[in-house]
Structure 1
Amino acid sequence: MIRVLVVDDDFMVAKVHSGYVTRTPGCEVVGVAHTGADALRLVRELRPDLVLLDIYLPDMDGLTVLRHLRAGHDDTDVIVISAANDVDTVRGAMRGGVLHYLIKPFTYPALYDQLQHFASLHTKLGALSTAGQSDVDQVFGSRPRGSTNLPKGLTAQTAELVEQVLRASSSEDMSAAECAAVAQLSRVSARRYLEHFVDTGRAEVRLRYGGTGRPERRYRWTG
């Protein structure tokens, strides 16, 4: 069983997320925390395999909790689940080594996919003494293939930022304008990266019709 600690300042949201975990085969909730201090205490006491970590907490933000966990050499893994969608927070979570970043609100299938992915990796790594490249790629996820050979005018750093924004939307798609707002880029710039991901098979695009004018292009990460 994957032992999960749910951290959220909102009691009802924590209850909903706990229900999601309980519904997922192979996963169980071992504790719920509503403050950063309680989260750190419960990690020490319960030693969960995974923490679902909110960013907005009453005593300290989730990134501070993450830094304390890493400084204390706690080996629990972390998935951020938060309404925080500013790029600095997303970047801070990445640097803190989180496995994934789900932006609220999200549906059960979005969390289910991440829990199942974590469970499969947890089982696989537990059975290995050494890891091959394919194992490592599965753990760390696919990076932008060909990022060192991007079209003229695109940079690897911005490509990774746009990828992270698109990944964070999980099962939801987003427009170039929405992606640009989160990544703090121009809409034209964001669309160039999104179209590059479509061209290289790492994202898909669909057209959403409504009202007058041209249909809106909606992008979703596929990896």
Structure 2
Amino acid sequence: MTRRVLVVDDDFMVLRIHERFVAQTPGFDVVARARTGAEALAEAERTQPDVVLLDVHLPDTSGLEVLRALRDLAPRAVVVMVTAERDAEAVRAALRGGAQQYLVKPFAYDDLAARLAAVAGALDSLGEGETDQGAIDRAFGAAPTAPAPVAPAPPKGLSVESLALVRSALPADGDLSASEVAEEVGLSRVSARRYLEHLVTVGEADVRLRYGAGRPERRYSASP
């Protein structure tokens, strides 16, 4: 079963990263995206998603207000707050509003995948018709696995968001040049090359040389 996801974030680059993360997760598919609260509510009503990844800080309203409105507009949606907001009162408000998960940015792909797996496990445990207490406990108590260790900050001049975007563009099978990665993620070739070389340095990417006419071409792939 493929679960349909609405991704909401005011930052275009972050929105693309979260879309890529969802696309990498088996059983989930992005069906809509939004950068404002108004867009989020309109898309939620139109698409009736199974899961909403929702930022707190939106240009026209608070994501917490959107969360409350989703109860009526998309009652079946499971909401995962995905935000840089760490204030305890905001977390409490998210709990009161019905959010099932709360993930602080920036985060690694494995962190989001764990939350999505927890959501899928909770929903799958209930099945159809009447259920039992064990299944109910699993649905309400399903917790994500321990988050991946927080990666160290990238070197000066490299942003966490762009690094995540470049990382997500690297194929596990096959390889890409810096120019191809740049076109894929919307960076300049020089910038993409800097991010790629950093990933090689920290062991998250592999590089090989392709020989032909002229200078050898550096080709990058995700480390196994």
| TM-score using structure 1 length | 0.62
Residue 70 (structure 1) shift: 1.9
Deviation at 1:53, TM superposition (A): 0.2
Matched positions, count: 148
Could you tell me which residue of structure 1 aligns to residue 139 of structure 2?
A: 139
1:32-77 Cα offsets, whole Å, 9 max, x none, are: 1000000000000001000000000000010000111124462211
- Residue in 1 that maps onto 2:128: 128
- 1:67 alignment counterpart: 68
Q: How far apart in 2 are the matches of 1:118 and 1:8? A: 20
How far 1:142 moved relative to its partner? 6.8
**Larger C-alpha radius of gyration, 1 or 2?**
2
8 Å Cα contact 1:102-1:170 kept in structure 2: no
SS in 1 for 2:80: strand
Query: What are structure 2's unaligned runs of at least 5 residues?
Result: 151-224
Q: Which amino acid aligns with 1:82?
A: T
State whether residues 41 and 66 of structure 2, in contact with CA within 8 Å, keep that contact through their aligned partners in structure 1. yes
1:81 aligns to what SS in structure 2?
strand
Consecutive unaligned residues of structure 1, counting only runs of 5 or more, are 144-166, 174-223
Distance 1:6 1:72, change over 3 A: closer
- Match of 2:60, SS state, is coil
Shift of 1:130: 1.6
Trace 1:145-160 onto structure 2 (pairs within 5 A): none
The answer on 1:114 being equivalent to 2:108 is: no
| Equivalence map 1:159-174=2 (5 Å) | 170-172=147-149
- Alignment-derived partner of residue 48 in structure 1: 49
RMSD of aligned residue pairs (Cα, Å):
2.0
1:121 is matched by which residue type in structure 2? A
Equivalent position amino acid for 1:50 in 2: V
Seq. identity, %:
43
2:82 counterpart of 1:81: yes
Deviations for 1:162-183, whole angstroms, at most 9, x for unmatched residues? xxxxx8x94458xxxxxxxxxx
Report Cα offsets for 1:128-184 as digits up to 9, x if no partner.
Answer: 3122122111111179xxxxxxxxxxxxxxxxxxxxxxx8x94458xxxxxxxxxxx
Cα distance in 2 between the residues matched to 1:72 and 1:104: 26
Q: Helix, strand or coil: the match of 2:58?
A: coil
SS in 2 for 1:52: strand
Amino acid at match of 1:136: I
Question: Residues of 1 paired with 2:57 and 2:51: CA distance?
Answer: 18
Residues 60 and 94 (structure 1), Cα distance of their counterparts in 2 relative to 1, 3 Å cut:
same
The separation in 2 between residues aligned to 1:85 and 1:53, in whole angstroms, is: 14
Q: Give SS of 1:80's match.
A: strand
| Partner AA of 2:54 in structure 1 | L
Q: In structure 2, what residue type is equivalent to 1:128?
A: E
